[in-house]
Amino acid sequence: MNTANHIPPEDLPLIALQFLPEEEMAEALTHLEHCELCREEIARYQGDLATYAMTSDMHSPPALARERLLRRVAKEKKVIPIERQQPIAAAPGEEPMLAPRRGSMFDTETYEEPRHSSRASTFVAWSGWAIAAGVAVVAGLQFHQRQLLQNDINDMSAKLIASAAESAKAQDTLKTLTDQGALQVTLNIPPPDGVPAPHLPEGHVAYLANKGSLVFVASNLLQLQPYKTYELWVLPTEKGRDPIPAGTFKPDERGSASVVMPELPKGVAAKGFGVTIEDDGGSKQPTMPIVLVGM
């Protein structure tokens, strides 16, 4: 077999079923490496094997392939023992007659089964293995596809949830900045003589007490040591109530920073806001001095 001559049509289903002798199979595989047309035909037969797993209809191979398969099966002869004959009962007073040692009850003879039934059963047996293989392949592909689809659905759901959360946060931020009832406070360094110097650090807070919404923006902040951070505080109007931490922040290279929508309790009226310098991670109580304050 070579690349110039294609594989005979009657050999194609035998190759798909891996039923050719080793020498012919090796030669066929060598041909398939260089012949796209024969590869397509083999792929079509292999596709039919997978189709067996999804339908109860059986597809017969070409007549020439079937005849070739049956001829090979017919060459195998089986030795089947002949049923033993019952010994002839002896007449009263006579010795029982024994069958001679070389008689039929000790003999075996070579019996060739009818070719048609043996060939057909062998082909059906091979078809059963092909169906089982097709079932395994199709089931594996379907399981893999379901897993990929489920992963895509999970990823999309997570993105939608995150997008919805970001959208809600953006809407709350806008409402806090534009609501007429929001408390607007500017934070500055407390001036010792009552006159603030220009270009000093300052911050601005928009706060909705009933929703616990807060937006803080600062500018001209001084850079801190690596293990230090700024922390914003809500100063409640309720007498005796401790300041409420409202988030930590560090300025960028221009001295700008912000705190947007921190986790705060709702309904806390504020008389002002303050900023302190704390260790990284923040503090539960403000550490003096207060570097920015607004009332």
Distance linking the first and last C-alpha atoms of the chain: 96
Percentage of the chain surpassing pLDDT 90?
29
Crossing angle between the packed helical segments 22-32 and 36-52, to the nearest 10 degrees: 120
For residue 237, which amino acid is it?
T
Q: How many CB atoms lie within 10 A of CB 16?
A: 21
- φ and ψ at 239, to 5 degrees? -70, 135
Helix (H, G, I), strand (E, B) or coil at 142: helix
Mean pLDDT, the chain, as a whole number? 76
Q: What is the pLDDT of residues 48-100, one digit of tens each?
A: 777 665 665 555 666 776 777 777 777 765 555 555 555 555 555 555 544 44
Mean pLDDT over residues 142-169, rounded? 79
| pLDDT over 70 (residue 200) | yes
Per-residue pLDDT, 23: 85
Domain ranges of the chain: 9-83+97-141, 183-294
Collect all residues with Cβ–Cβ distance below 8 Å to 209 and sequence separation of at least 6: 183, 266, 267, 268, 269, 270
Q: Burial, 257: exposed, middle or buried (Cβ in 10 Å; 0-12, 13-18, 19+)?
A: buried
Distance between CA atoms of residues 105 and 98, nearest Å: 10
3-state secondary structure 239-295: CCCCCEEEEEECCCCCCCEEEECCCCCCCCCEEEEEEEEEECCCCCCCCCCEEEEEC
Give CA–CA dist 235/268, Å, rounded. Answer: 9
